[in-house]
Amino acid sequence: QKEVEQDPGPLSVPEGAIVSLNCTYSNSAFQYFMWYRQYSRKGPELLMYTYSSGNKEDGRFTAQVDKSSKYISLFIRDSQPSDSATYLCAKQRSNYQLIWGAGTKLIIKP
Amino acid sequence: EAEVAQSPRYKITEKSQAVAFWCDPISGHATLYWYRQILGQGPELLVQFQDESVVDDSQLPKDRFSAERLKGVDSTLKIQPAELGDSAMYLCASSFGQGVGLAGYNEQFFGPGTRLTVL
């Protein structure tokens, strides 16, 4: 079993829809969880990170961690075609190394 | 805005040839990472440097891959000889990373990557 599991998609939704992206993890000894966005042929860029459990909001994006169920979620409100990208979840080890999910390809249809 | 630089952006080579990738991290970042990302997968850490020292190269195929960061600034990743299965995106990232065991969040900043195709 991988430490971080993520459905690779693709996930296709119409413009304006609420998007829900999810990951599960298997080891509870982590405090920081991240979401990176990766456009085609580009490097990943950090969208948001959360510490421990709970929610964090930044504009149209909300990151949520549920440590009891070992679930990481990213919600995108009012989705735009420019949100079309691959979204990678990751968790940070104590040595700063990141354990990555496979990434979910998101397609927002105009 | 400071960025991680990588070159070349694209590289096409034939199997058994040697290839080299270069990375210049954000100024002041002590930690440098090389990742390999196969299409449809998340990045896989190949090697991690703290200044000029290798912290972790446990996933680096040392029979054909080598990495160096001689002056603790820029870094080179080499493959000799390249194999068909090496076709992937090679990503470089950097972070402040003050050392192992410190609590706190440590953001990694990524370069644009080098897309390698081995024919």
Residue A30: what pLDDT?
67
- Could you say which of A6, A92, A100 has the minimum Cβ distance to residue B43? A100
> Are the Cβ atoms of B91 and A44 closer than 8 angstroms?
yes
- Distance, CA of B79 to CA of B6 (rounded, Å): 16
Convert the pLDDT of each residue in B3-38 to its tens digit: 999 999 999 999 999 999 999 999 999 999 999 999
Mean pLDDT of chain B: 92
What does the pLDDT look like over A28-74, one tens digit per residue?
776 789 999 999 989 999 999 888 778 899 999 999 998 888 899 99
Judging contacts by C-beta atoms under 8 Å, the chain A residues touching residue B106 are 92, 96
**Percent of chain B at pLDDT exceeding 70:** 93
pLDDT higher than 70, residue B100: no
Q: Which residues of A touch B42 (CB under 8 A)?
A: 4, 6, 88, 90, 100-103
Q: Are B88 and B41 in contact (CB under 8 A)?
A: no
Residue type, A3: E
Query: Is residue A105's pLDDT more than 90?
Result: yes
Q: Which residues of B touch A6 (CB under 8 A)?
A: 42
Cβ within 8 Å, pair A90-B106: no
- With a cut of 50, say whether residue B104 has pLDDT above it: yes
- Cβ contact A43–B93 (<8 Å): yes
* Per-residue pLDDT, B98: 58
Q: How far apart, in whole angstroms, are the C-alpha atoms of residue B49 and residue B32?
A: 5
The SS3 assignment for B4 reads coil
* Percent of chain B clearing pLDDT 90 (strictly above): 84
Quote the CA–CA distance of A101 and B1 in Å, as a whole number: 28
